[in-house]
């Protein structure tokens, strides 16, 4: 029997990269994603035919309006803006991509927060025609701030519409230097800036001969080499939020009791000494089960059932950590909040806090500071509240103790959401510091 010829396959598979596009209105985010989908052969012929006949097409002649590949809502196509986050999927021989197209309008900043919360990388688009003098728009600053607060480690700055400024190197360098100053003030450790034209495809998938002064890779090649979340989560301390307790055969002496969930970070093996938090009870892992078989090791991202060496009180919402590196347990915290609700923060209202698999009540004790997007710094909050799309630091207390980490160190146990107890609306996304 002939062997399969796999000589064309790459030597390595870089896994899945989750990325989000951000920036101001009409910077070309939807067009860029559409171009990536088209050039990576991620668009079917019937989709191209449908958008070529769309009544909201905004390009002249037989050209393709790539933005229509992501702007699927009628209101989006009619107004020519992105309103909600659109998720699209495509792949190359080196890796798979999950890309979120976030709206640029200030009114929909909360939608951008939602999309960015699970992203490994952010593409910040800048319209070269509107920032030719080196003055960055407010939404560029706001989205960069949010990306940094959410711990997105890979920031790619795409200076778009360079074809409309005749590929002027001086314009690109002014924007590059302006963003470098922004990154310095935000403490963004690493970022990459590249010139491109999403509409024409220059420097998107292939290097363009119009930018001989740019010696970096095109966008897709850069994205293929970035590290993903799972590779970083695997080296962090073990955090295993218990989703549910699995029991059967309770009428027999050899009944089964296991604790099911998804490993948020770290690795887990039979024989590991763990501590159940927040109670602090210690135990040893007897068995790690994946579906219907035992495994020798489970890593971040794996959904498994854990069997312990003895019966202890473990419930939904508890977190299993290695005894040598436990999470911090407490009821009083400070956190950065991105306020999402149309109704402003009111310390007198009751909020529910969802942290991992635990749901408890929380009391806002005070709004300490809020972020001035123009000055890029925290300033004292005198109003005692946060309005929709504002970002601020708050102090709060929870009814039940939580096992938490610094968000930058362990996003899974450093993040939470607030829910308005009366309306059941998601009020805020929070990051523990």
Span 229-246, pLDDT tens digits: 555 666 789 999 999 998
The C-alpha torsion from 277 through 283 and 287 to 288, rounded to 10°, is: 20
pLDDT over 90 at 282, yes or no: yes
Which pLDDT does position 427 carry in this prediction?
93
Which pLDDT does position 60 carry in this prediction?
45
Sorted by where each starts, the structural domains of the chain and their CATH numbers stand as 16-227 (3.40.50.300), 233-322 (2.40.30.10), 328-432 (2.40.30.10)
pLDDT over 50 at 382, yes or no: yes
* Residue at token pair 């009944």: 255
Q: Which of 55-59, 125-129, 136-140, 172-176 has the lowest mean pLDDT?
A: 55-59
Using a pLDDT cut of 90, give the percent of the chain over it.
50
* Residue at token pair 């059932």: 305
Highest mean pLDDT among 74-88, 348-362, 372-386: 348-362
- Show the DSSP H helices in 100-255 as ranges: 109-116, 138-149, 169-186, 219-225, 229-233
Label residue 100 by pLDDT band (50, 70, 90): confident
Q: Which residues of 406-430 are buried (b: 16+ CB within 10 A; e: fewer)?
A: ebeebbbbbbbbbbbeeeeeebbbb
Average pLDDT in the 424-428 region? 91
pLDDT over 70 at 180, yes or no: yes
- Count of other CB atoms within 10 angstroms of residue 89: 11
pLDDT, greater one: 178 or 301: 178
pLDDT over 50 at 78, yes or no: no
Cα–Cα nearest to 387, from 374, 375, 376, 371 = 371
pLDDT over 70 at 68, yes or no: no
CB 353 within 8 Å of CB 416:
yes
Which pLDDT does position 151 carry in this prediction?
85
- 243-265, pLDDT tens digit by residue? 999 887 656 656 788 999 999 99
Which pLDDT does position 99 carry in this prediction?
85
Using a pLDDT cut of 70, give the percent of the chain over it.
81
Residue 41 φ/ψ region, left for φ over 0, alpha for ψ in the -120 to 50 degree band, beta for the rest: left
| Average pLDDT of the chain to the nearest whole number | 83
First to last CA, the chain: 59
pLDDT over 70 at 196, yes or no: yes
Phi, then psi, of 304 in degrees rounded to 5: -140, 170
Phi, then psi, of 185 in degrees rounded to 5: -70, -25
pLDDT, greater one: 8 or 195: 195
Q: Which of 64-68, 143-147, 260-264 has the lowest mean pLDDT?
A: 64-68
pLDDT over 60 at 88, yes or no: yes
């Amino acid at each position: 029997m002939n062997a399969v010829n796999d000589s064309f396959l790459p030597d390595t598979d870089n896994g899945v990269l989750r990325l989000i596009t951000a920036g101001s209105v009409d910077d070309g985010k939807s067009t860029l994603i559409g171009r990536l989908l088209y050039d990576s052969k991620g668009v079917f012929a019937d989709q191209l035919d449908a958008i070529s006949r769309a009544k909201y097409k905004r390009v002249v002649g037989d050209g393709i309006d790539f933005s229509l590949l992501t702007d699927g809502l009628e209101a989006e196509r009619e107004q020519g803006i992105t309103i909600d986050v659109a998720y699209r999927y495509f792949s190359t021989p080196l890796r798979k991509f999950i890309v979120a197209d976030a709206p640029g309008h200030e009114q929909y900043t909360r939608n951008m927060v939602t999309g960015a919360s699970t992203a490994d990388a952010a593409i910040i688009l800048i319209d070269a025609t509107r920032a030719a003098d080196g003055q960055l728009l407010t939404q560029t600053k706001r989205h960069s701030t949010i990306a940094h607060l959410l711990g997105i480690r890979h920031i790619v700055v795409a200076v778009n519409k360079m074809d409309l400024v005749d590929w002027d190197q001086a314009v690109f360098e002014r924007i590059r230097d302006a963003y470098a100053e922004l990154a310095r003030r935000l403490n963004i450790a690493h970022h990459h800036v590249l010139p491109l034209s999403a509409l024409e495809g220059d420097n998107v998938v292939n290097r363009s001969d119009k930018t001989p002064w740019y010696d970096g890779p095109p966008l897709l090649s850069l994205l293929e080499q970035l590290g993903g979340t799972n590779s970083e989560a695997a080296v962090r301390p073990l955090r295993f939020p218990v989703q549910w307790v699995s029991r059967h055969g309770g009428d027999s002496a050899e009944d089964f009791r296991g604790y099911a969930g998804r490993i948020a970070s770290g690795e887990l093996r039979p024989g590991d000494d763990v501590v159940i938090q927040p109670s602090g009870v210690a135990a040893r892992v007897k068995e790690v089960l994946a579906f219907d078989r035992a495994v020798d090791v489970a890593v971040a991202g794996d959904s498994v059932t854990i069997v312990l060496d003895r019966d202890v009180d473990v419930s939904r919402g508890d977190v299993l950590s290695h005894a040598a590196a436990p999470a911090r347990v407490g009821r009083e915290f400070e956190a950065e909040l991105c306020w999402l609700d149309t109704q402003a923060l009111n310390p007198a209202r009751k909020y529910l806090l969802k942290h991992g698999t635990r749901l408890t009540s929380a009391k806002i004790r005070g709004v300490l500071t809020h972020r001035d997007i123009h000055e890029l710094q925290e300033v004292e909050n005198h109003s005692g509240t946060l309005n929709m799309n504002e970002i601020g630091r708050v102090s709060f207390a929870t009814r039940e103790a939580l096992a938490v980490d610094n968000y930058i160190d362990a996003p899974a146990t450093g993040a939470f959401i607030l829910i308005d107890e009366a309306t059941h609306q998601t009020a805020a996304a929070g990051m523990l510091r």
